[in-house]
Chain A
Amino acid sequence: MTATLEKPPRAEEKAALRHRLAERGIDRVLLLLVPGVVFVVALFLYPVLYGLQLSFQSKDGGGPLANYQKFFSDSYLFDTIWITLRLALPAALINVVASIPIAYRLRGRFRGKRLLTTILVVPITLGTVLTAEGLIEYLGPVGWFNKTLQWSGLIDEPVRLVHNYWGVLFSLIITGFPFAFLLTLSYLSGIDPSLEQAAATLGADWRRRFTRITLPLLAPGLAITFCLTFVLAFSVFPSAYLVGLPQGETRVISIAAYEAAFRDFDFPLGSAIAMIMAVVMLAVIGLVLAWRSTLYRGATGGKG
């Protein structure tokens, strides 16, 4: 009897606790998160932390920072940061800047828009190898590009455009531009056109409408676009091998990391370089996002 008397309040308490948790959004539905979270923790977080820990153990002995000291004192390794930035920053900048006017032209509705968008997106399907093969053949000394230039009399000697800095830069533009363009187009179509029309009725010409209305509203989106294309360009790996000069001008940081880990089997050094790579990349993104936080980020009045 006493048991049955005691039971109801306890059940109530339990219900109350469950209720309070549910009010904060914690209930059984959250169990659905478990597989995904376990997966990401086990296969992303754990390897990254393991690599971080590994990077403090030098293969040749020495202090915990030996791998990092090696990286920063060896100019063959250290210079890869600048080589990578010298490729990735211009590539990301060109992709973003070039996609603004094109997206600006294409944002309205017109016939053939879908076709043109599809054509501009096609480079995504090319893949690194076809791009690399194409660049080597098309821009090569006897390729169509040099042949056309020579035939038109603009140059006497073929221009060297592959197996150097330019080859990798072109490859980064070809693969990175579609992403930048798609993102910019979507951000641009999220801006309500009536804002610009209002400015037009107040007498602003297109230049002022663009610099005073569209660009400020677009800038936060451009910052994100820049970050994403920068990440793509910063981790350039296969094309630096195939169309670049992998032991010289385009020895990017991912080549250094790969060679350390899988050619010399120095996993600690490879992990250390991978960590440095992540830090440099996050530093650039952090700078861009810090700039972005100073911008207007309210409603853009559009569907986006």
Chain B
Amino acid sequence: MMASRAVIARPSAWLVWGAVAFFLINLFGLVAYVVLNSFSTQWFGTWLPDGLTTTWYTTAWNELSLFDVLVVTLEVAIAVVVLSVVIGGPCAYALARRQFPGKKLLTVLFLLPILMPPMTYGIPLATVLYKFDLAGSITGVIIANLVPSVPFVVLTMTPFIEQIDPKIEAAARMCGASTAAVFTRVLAPLLIPGMLAASILVLVRTVGMFELTFLTAGPGSQTLVVSLYEAMFSAGIRAQQAVDAMAVIYTSSMLVLLVIALRFVNPTQLVTRLKETPT
């Protein structure tokens, strides 16, 4: 069967592989161009740059105060991850274990912040945060980023909790475990994969989240994506190579995060699980 398909579908197979190759070659060229440019002394209209240097990374580090930006990014990301797991985890447990009236409505309420583009609710949200004097600070950025993250944790963790047999909990109770003991000794160890998966995905999303951070961040509370955007937007005053160097730093940190995430989560599985939640 495999062999017959391979023989019959040969022209279409070549077409598909050709298209993939074309996409990947251009993608590779695009990334390589930026990486090469970030290391180049000067590059105007030739095939390759005039010379190689690493000074642009020092420039980016000093001029764009990259260290502070990275600290802010880390603070925001960790706060969002911890808070969203703490708020979303119990919710996921209740949704996984109980059937109750209004559950569909609640699921829709949790799906909306994920499905709506951040721009649509981000503008009213930023307006509200400005009204309460929360925007323009790290607190505001964290709150804004929590809005899609909490529902995301709920939806990612629910299937993980559903997989844990309720009989295990019942058995622990039978043996005299208190609620706290059931949680710390039984549920928490079994839930670690789910919590890790949810945390890492939230981390990737938060580090990459542009719109909400952009709308709520002030001068001292920009994360890496936003300051990168600002650097490119006001590109006239900065060498393109410095912006490229910063973009390379951003992308490599995202790549590290994604590789870690892929070790814990199989993306295809995750999507199939998400599919099962009613939309």
Give A contacts to B, CB under 8 Å.
24-27, 29-30, 32-33, 35-37, 39-41, 43-48, 50-52, 54, 98, 101-102, 104-105, 108, 117-135, 137-139, 142-145, 147, 174, 177, 182-183, 185-187, 189-190, 197, 200, 205-206, 221, 224, 228, 231-232, 234-235, 237-238, 241-242, 254, 257-258, 261-262, 267, 270-271, 274-275, 277-278, 281, 303-304
* 10 closest cross-chain pairs (CB), A and B: A51-B124, A235-B117, A36-B91, A25-B100, A32-B90, A134-B30, A125-B254, A142-B45, A186-B271, A130-B247
Interface string of B170-210 (1 = CB under 8 A from A): 00000000000000000000000000000000001000101
In the assembled complex, the CB of A235 is this many whole angstroms from the nearest CB of chain B, namely: 3
State the Cβ distance, B264 to closest chain A Cβ, in Å: 14
> How far apart sit A41 and B87, CA to CA, in the bound complex (Å)?
13
28 contacts between A and B (CB under 8 A): A25-B99, A33-B91, A36-B87, A36-B110, A37-B106, A40-B110, A43-B143, A47-B124, A48-B124, A51-B128, A102-B19, A102-B20, A120-B24, A124-B258, A125-B251, A129-B225, A129-B243, A129-B247, A133-B240, A138-B26, A138-B34, A143-B33, A186-B272, A206-B5, A235-B117, A261-B123, A267-B127, A304-B272
What secondary structure prevails in chain B residues at the interface with A?
Answer: helix
Q: Would you call B210 and A274 a contact (CB within 8 A)? A: no
Bound form: Cα–Cα A111–B115 in Å: 35
Residues of chain A lying within 8 A (CB to CB) of residue B250: 127, 129-130
Q: Are A262 and B215 in contact (CB under 8 A)?
A: yes
Q: A29-B94, A32-B90 are in contact. Are A133 and B251 (CB under 8 A)?
A: no
Q: How far is the CA of A37 from the CA of B91 in the complex (A)?
A: 8
Q: A25-B100, A30-B100 are in contact. List 8 more A-B contacts (CB 8 A).
A: A24-B101, A36-B154, A101-B16, A121-B258, A130-B247, A133-B243, A138-B30, A267-B127
CB pair A47–B268 under 8 Å, yes or no, is no
Which of chain B's residues have a CB closer than 8 A to the CB of A35? 87, 90-91
CB neighbours of A303 from chain B (8 A): 272
In the complex, the answer to whether B90 meets A36 with C-beta atoms within 8 Å is yes
State in angstroms the CA–CA spacing of A43 and B144 once bound together.
8
Q: Is the CB of B98 within 8 A of A125?
A: no
A129 CB contact (under 8 Å) in B94, B109, B232: B232
